[in-house]
Amino acid sequence: VSITGASEKVALQALKASDWHLEGSFDYFYSQPQVSVTNSRHLEDLYSRYKERDADMIMVEGTSQFCNDLLVDPQDIVMLVISWHMKAATMCEFTHQEFIDGLQSIGVDSIEKLREKLPSLRAEIKDDHKFREIYNFAFAWAREKGQKSLPLETAIGMWRLLFAERHWPLIDHWCQFLQVRHNKAISRDTWSQLLEFVKTIDPELSNYDEEGAWPYLIDEFVEYLTENGCVQRNK
C-alpha cells in the first residue's frame, strides 16, 4: 500500500494473485490495468464536482449528475454495484471517504475510466459470491436512516432489480404475494432467508421440505403458490 498507493482491497487482490509473494504482487499490480494507480488529485477534483456546496458530502443532486456523466439511469443496477464498491451507507449519498476509496478500489480516477468499467462492474452480478455480497449490502443501503426494516415497496423494487439479473421465475408471484398477504415492512431476516430460498429451492418446489426451518412468511408463500395453481407440487 505504501509503495504503490493502492487501496487495501486492491493490494490484497494483488497479493492473493501472486500467492502472497511480495515481488510477484508488484509484477501483477503493474501489469493489471484494472488495478492501476489512481491519481489522488484527479479523485479530489472529481469529488468536488459532485459534492454539495454547503456540506462535505455528495447528496441526491450530485449523485444525479454523477449518473448523467456516466450515461446511466440512476435505477440501473450498476449504480448499486458501484455503491457496493464504495461501501456507501445510504442510497444516493456518498461521503468523501466512500467516494474516494470506492473509486480507488475499482481502479479509476475519471468519469471516462469508470464508464469503460461499467460492463465489467455490471458483470459482477453474475458471480455468485459477489451477488450474495451485493444482495446483503442492498438491504442496509436502501433502508431509510434510523429504520431497521425496509418499506415493502422499497424491498419489492430492490428485489425486482436484483432478480431481473438472476432470472428467478417466481419473482412476480413473490411480489404479488407480499402485497396481497403481507403488506408490512421487510426485516433483514426475511431479506436474507429469501436469497437462501432462491438458491436452494427449485422453481417447481420439488425439493421444498415443509418441515424445514424456513421462516413463516416463506411457508406462507409456498402455500400461496400451491393454492393459486402457480406450481404443481407432488406430495
Class of the CATH-defined domain 128-228: mainly alpha
- The residue behind cell 469503460 is 116
What per-residue confidence (pLDDT) applies to 132?
95
What per-residue confidence (pLDDT) applies to 36?
47
- 40-120 and 128-228: same fold? yes
Superfamily of domain 40-120: EF-hand (1.10.238.10)
3-state secondary structure at position 76: coil
Query: CA torsion angle for 130, 132, 136, 139 (degrees, to 10)?
Result: 90
- The residue behind cell 505504501 is 2
Domain-by-domain residue ranges, the chain?
A: 1-37, 40-120, 128-228
What per-residue confidence (pLDDT) applies to 229?
86
Listed in sequence order, the residues at least 6 apart from 161 whose beta carbon sits closer than 8 Å to its beta carbon are 75, 77, 80
Mean pLDDT by 10 residues, the chain (235 residues): 75 88 82 62 94 95 97 96 96 96 92 94 91 96 92 96 91 95 92 95 91 88 91 63
What per-residue confidence (pLDDT) applies to 18?
87
> Which grid cell sits at 120?
465489467
What per-residue confidence (pLDDT) applies to 106?
92
